Amino acid sequence: MFNFNYYSPTKVIFGRGTEDQIGTLAQEYGATKVLIHYGGGSVVRSGLLDRVKAALDAAGVAHVELGGVVPNPHLAKVREGIALGQREGVDFLLAVGGGSVIDSVKAISYGLAEPDKDVWELFEGQREAERFLPIASILTIAAAGSETSNSCVITNERTGEKRAYDDDISRPKFAIMNPELSMTLPDYQTQAGCTDIMMHTMERYFTQGGNMEITDALAEGLLRTVIKYAQVLHHDPENYEARAEIMWAGSLAHNGLTGCGNDGGDFASHMLEHELGGMFDVTHGAGLAAVWPSWARYVYRDCLPRFVRYATNVMGVAPGATDEETALRGIEAMEDFYHRIGMPINLRELGIQPTEEQILALAESCARATGGSQGSAKVLYQEDMAAIFRLAL
C-alpha cells in the first residue's frame, strides 16, 4: 500500500426533509449574504428554490440568486456569478442542484476570494488557489460527487475546453442530501449519474498497485450496490431506499474513501470523456459509459489481475479457461449492464460520430490537458487516446 491523506471535512445532513435546515445551517456557518446558485429550472418547477429562500428568510439570512447553469457548466456563467457576488457583498455560496451547479459555485468562490486574478488560470494549470469562500449544497442528483469532492470542472465555451481543477480548499462546508429531491429526475439522468458514481470508484480500482484489502472491499461493495439499485430505479424511480443508497454511494465514490492506499487512480476514462463533453456537450455519465468498454479492451492485458478480480467480485461472472477470458467476460457483463439501464456503450449509441480530424483534435487536447500522458492501468499517450476514440466509434 501507498501512504495516503484522507480529508473529507464536509458535514453531511442526509434524509427526508433535511433541506428545511438550510436557514439554521447558514447561520451556524456565519453566512450573512448567500448567493443561491441553480440550473436550468428544475428547482424552480419543483418548488425547492422557493422553500430554500423562505428558510433563509426565516433565519434572517440575506440572499441573492443566480440561475441558468447548464450541464457542463460554462465559464461565462462563472464570471457572471463573480461579478454579482462582488456587487452584492456575498460571503457564502449555496448550490441548489447537481454537479454542474456545485462546480459553478466552486469556481465563483475561487473568483470571489481572489478577485484580482483570472479564475480560468486555475483550470489551465497556471497557478494554485490560495483562498476560497465557504460553499455548501442542496443536492438534487446523485452523480458527480462534487458535494464532498475537492474537484471543480468548468467548460470554456469559447474554446471548447472542459478542464478540472482539484484543491482541498474547495471541499464544501456541508451537503444537504435528501434522496426524495432526486425523484423528479428523468431516467437518463438517473442512470448517467449511477454510471458516473461507479466510474469514480472504478477509476481508483483499476490501478497498478497499492491496493488495500479494506479499500477493495469498500469499492466492490459500493459498485455492487450501485449496480443493484440503478436497475431498481430504472423500473421504480420513486423508490426511496434505492434513491438513498445511490445518493450516499455518490458521495463515498468520490470523496477519496475508495482510493485510500492506491497510487492515485487511473482517471483516463474521465479525461477522455471531458474532451467529448468539451467538443460535443454530451452528458458526463453517458459519455463515460460510451468510452469505458473501449478503454477497458485497450488496457486490460496490462492490468489483468484487477480486471479478473472485477469480473468475479463485482460482475459475478464465472471464471473462464484463462484470465484473459475472465477479464473479457467482465467487460461484456459491464456492457450488458449499461444496456439494461439505457446507457450507451459506444459513441454511435451516445449519438455522436466524430470524424478522423475531430478524433485527432480530441486526442491532442486530452494530451495537452493531462500534461502528455494519463493512466495507471496503462499509461496512455496521445496516440493511445486517439486509438481508444477510434475503437469507441
Which residues bind to ligand NZQ, rule: CB under 6 A? Answer: 39-43, 71-73, 97-101, 103, 140-141, 143-146, 149, 151-153, 181-182, 184-185, 189, 193, 196, 254, 270, 277, 284-285
Among 19, 103, 147, 196, binds Zn ion (CB under 5 A): 196
Residue with smaller CB distance to Zn ion, 204 or 306? 204
Least separation, in Å, of the C-beta of 39 and ligand NZQ?
2
d(CA 221, CA 101): 29
Cα of first residue to Cα of last residue in the chain, in angstroms, is 37
Amino acid in position 287:
G
When CB distances to Zn ion are compared, the closest residue is: 196
Nearest approach, Cβ of residue 151 and Zn ion (Å): 9
Beta bridge partners of residue 138, listed in sequence order: 96, 176
286, 350 in Cβ contact below 8 A? Answer: yes
Q: Name the minimum Å distance from CB 99 to Zn ion.
A: 8
Relative to beta strand 151-156, strand 161-166 is antiparallel
d(CA 259, CA 379) in angstroms, rounded, equals: 18
Which of ligand NZQ, Zn ion, none binds 10 (CB below 5-8 Å, type-dependent)? Answer: none
Output the smallest distance, CB 200 to Zn ion, in A: 6
The region of 28-36, 75-83, 128-136, 193-201 touching Zn ion under the rule CB under 5 A is 193-201
The smaller minimum CB distance to Zn ion, of residues 196 and 245, is found at 196
Shortest distance (Å) from residue 323 CB to Zn ion: 29
3-state secondary structure the chain: CCCCCCCCCCEEEECCCHHHHHHHHHHHCCCCEEEEEECCCHHHHCCHHHHHHHHHHHCCCEEEEECCCCCCCEHHHHHHHHHHHHHHCCCEEEEEECHHHHHHHHHHHHHHHCCCCCCHHHHCCCCCCCCCCCEEEEECCCCCCCCCCCEEEEEECCCCEEEEEECHHHCCCEEEECHHHHCCCCHHHHHHHHHHHHHHHHHHHCCCCCCCHHHHHHHHHHHHHHHHHHHHHHHCCCCHHHHHHHHHHHHHCCCCHHHCCCCCCCCHHHHHHHHHHHHHCCCHHHHHHHHHHHHHHHHHHHHHHHHHHHHHHHCCCCCCCCHHHHHHHHHHHHHHHHHHCCCCCCHHHHCCCCCHHHHHHHHHHHHHHCCCCECCCCCECHHHHHHHHHHCC
Identify which of residues 259 and 285 has a Cβ nearer to ligand NZQ in the complex.
285
CA distance 149 to 145: 6
Give the shortest CB-271-to-Zn ion separation in angstroms: 11
Q: Which is nearer to ligand NZQ, 42 or 376 (CB)?
A: 42
By beta-carbon proximity to ligand NZQ, the closer residue of 243 and 378 is 243
| CB of residue 339 to ligand NZQ, shortest distance in Å | 20
Say whether residue 161 binds Zn ion (CB under 5 A). Answer: no
With contacts defined by CB under 5 A, name the span among 1-9, 190-198, 212-220, 291-299 that binds Zn ion: 190-198
Pick what 309 binds: Zn ion, ligand NZQ, none; C-beta below 5 to 8 Å, kind-dependent: none
Work out how close the CB of 36 gets to ligand NZQ at its nearest, in angstroms, rounded to a whole number.
13
Residue 189 interface partner, choices Zn ion, ligand NZQ, none, CB cut-off 5-8 Å depending on type: ligand NZQ
For ligand NZQ, the closer CB: 99 or 259: 99
Is there a contact between 388 and 380 (Cβ–Cβ < 8 Å)?
yes
Binding site partner of 247, from Zn ion, ligand NZQ, none, Cβ cut-off 5-8 A by kind: none
Nearest distance from residue 323's CB to ligand NZQ, in Å? 30
By CB under 5 A, tell whether 114 contacts Zn ion. no
Q: Which does 254 bind (CB under 5 to 8 A by kind): ligand NZQ, Zn ion, none?
A: ligand NZQ
CA–CA distance, 263 with 378 (Å, rounded to integer)? 13
Looking at the Cβ atoms of 105 and 303, the one nearer to ligand NZQ is: 105
Q: Does 147 bind Zn ion (CB under 5 A)?
A: no
> CB-wise, 149 or 225, nearer to ligand NZQ?
149
Residue 78 binding: pick among ligand NZQ, Zn ion, none (C-beta 5-8 Å cut-off by kind): none
* Binding region for Zn ion (CB under 5 A) out of 16-24, 53-61, 195-203, 304-312: 195-203
Q: Please report, as ranges, the residues that interact with Zn ion according to CB under 5 A.
A: 196
